[in-house]
Every structure is written in structure tokens, then in C-alpha cells.
Amino acid sequence: MPNWDQNKISNATIFLAGVGALGCVVAEILTMMGVGKLVIVDFDTVELSNLNRQWLFRDEDIGKSKALVAKEHLKILNPSVDVIAFNQKIEDIPDRIYAMCDLIVSSLDTFEARRWLNSMCVSVGKPLIDAGLYEFFGHVQVIIPGSDAACLECQPLIPETRLQQVCTLPGEPRKKERDEPKEVFPSVGTISAVIGGIMSQEIVKLLLGLGNPIGYLFYDGLSEEFTKLDLSRRLDCFVCGEKWKLDELRYFAEGDEKIGELRKRIALIYGLADPTMIVGTKIVDDEMSITEAEISEHALIFVIDATVAKPIRIRVVLTHNSV
């Protein structure tokens, strides 16, 4: 193989978020290829319905931790690969584990978790290979922090209906997204093999420094057509944009506006499920007005939500002081 440098592969540490249909394909390819270290994070257990496409698992694994079972099987495939398994949620893994990896692979089954991981990757400056499957379709997106390419939030390809569905606004009962029955994304092994293969190829290209990352690629398994898009980064993106890094996301409000209203507007703009507003070190209540919450002109407020790994910083610009 011209330009192949096995040392670059053998010295690489790859973070695998989720070991479902795509995670199994990528983990197996990387293990056979002799990647140095594989960090596998998944808090799910193996279910009977997984066995048609998640080929690291067998009947006797049903009910066991996916991460731990995957580790056992991968060690058989290639004992020289250092596999570290965490039977945990990605949100519970410390930043330093993400920071020590060369790149991060997302094989997650909820939009919320994918958005959270995107935010984490931008924060630690590590490339993210994100992908998804639906019936006979799949997609791959390569996000390289600091490049001109879009992150997951720059060009939201998450369906608007889905955002509205998760958006809990003031006055509506709050709900816990993760406690609800999981949305089912029907998928088959043929599509996960194609998409997982492309993800692995993008990983190899990044490790060896060959070719160009694909940006966004959509695969239609019925027409056998690939569609490639170059999505550009947005300067005002609240996750990766320069403006947000410089604390320049500005928010116009009136002094007598209720925090609940401000929260609602912010939730809709950023597609957040249930944002919490923090001023100084205190959570501010929906019923308070901006004046009562002691938010002064150009004050910096922090917004936290299950879809972001780091708080969003917003400057409030008071357009009219009612006091």
C-alpha cells in the first residue's frame, strides 16, 4: 500500500461512543487493522433485536453490557489492541479521556447525545466522525474543529419536527428526555456495513493524513446513490463559531421581560430541549423579570442544556429599561 504507515495506526487512540450497528463495524475494522488503543463507551445492554446487525454479539450475550462484551470479543480478534471499556454514559466520561484520544467516533442512537458529543469534540478540539442509519439510508459527517467545515450545529440536519418534539417550553410540564422510551431507528446490517466502512475509511485517512475529509455524505441504499455536500462553518454557530468564542452572541431583551420568555426564545433559536439559565452562580427562575434577576446591561449569562457539553455564553443587551 503506497503511503501506508502502520506506526501511525498502531499509535492511535480512538474513542468509540456507542457500540451499536455502526460501532460494531468500526470497532472490528480498527481492531483487525491493529489500532493502538480503543476506548469504548456504551451504557446499553445487548438485546435480542440487536443480533441481526451488531455482529460482535451472540445469543449468550443478551442482557450483558455491550461495552464489556465488545471488549472480550475484540481481544479475541486481535490481542495486541488495548481495549478500554466503559459501561457508562458519554456525559459521565471526564474531559481528559476525550482529550487523550486522536479522534472520536459517534455511533449514537439519539440526536441529543450526538449534539452533546459534537459540543464536547469542539471543546477539546478533536475530530468527530458522526454517522446515522435509517431504514435503507445512512449518512456520515466528518467534523474537524478549527477547519472551514461545519459542525453538527452549524448546519442543522436534525429534522425540525424532532426539535419541536423535544422542546419543552415554559408553561408546559418539563420532561426528562432520557427517561422516555427510546425512539426506534430501524436499520439493517447491509447499510451499517456500508456506512461503518466509510466511517473507518475516514478514520484511516485522518490518521495517515491522506486525501480530504468528506464533509457530509448521504447514502441511498435503494438507488445506490451517494450525495456529497460541503457544509461550511458558521461564524455565529453557538458551538464552534468564532463569535461565540469571543462572547459576542448578543441577546436583545427588555428589563420587564420574564426569564421564562427569554428561556423560551433561547430554546427555539438553538433548538434546546430544556435550557437552564444561570446568572453568576445562580439558576434564575422563570417567574422573575430580567431586572429582578439582576441581569445588568451587557451581563454575561450562561445557558446549560442536555444537548451541550459546555455552557452557552450569551450577552444580554437591554433595549428598553422599564424601571
Q: Which residues bind Zn ion (CB under 5 A)?
A: 151, 153-154, 237, 239-240
Q: How far is the CB of 152 from Zn ion (least distance, A)?
A: 7
Grid cell for residue 106: 459517534
Q: Which is nearer to Zn ion, 30 or 308 (CB)?
A: 308
Question: Of 118, 95, 97, 96, whose CA–CA distance to 38 is shortest?
Answer: 97
Closest to Zn ion by CB, 241 vs 255, is 241
Q: What is the dihedral of CA 58, 86, 143, 310, to 10 degrees?
A: 140
Q: Is the Cβ of residue 42 or residue 153 nearer to Zn ion in the bound state?
A: 153
- Residue 89 corresponds to which amino acid? K
Q: How far is the CB of 54 from Zn ion (least distance, A)?
A: 31
Cβ 3 to Zn ion, closest distance in Å? Answer: 31
Q: How far is the CB of 145 from Zn ion (least distance, A)?
A: 9
The nearest distance, CB 148 to Zn ion, in angstroms, is 11
Nearer to Zn ion, 172 or 242 (CB): 242
Output DSSP code: residue 320.
E
CA torsion, ordered 105, 140, 91, 115, to nearest 10 deg: 150
Name the residue with cell 443480533.
51
For 157-162, which contacts have Cβ atoms below 8 Å and span 24 or more sequence positions? 157/216, 158/111, 158/115, 158/271, 162/111
- Cβ closest to Zn ion, residue 102 vs residue 153: 153
Closest C-alpha to 187, from 133, 140, 111: 133
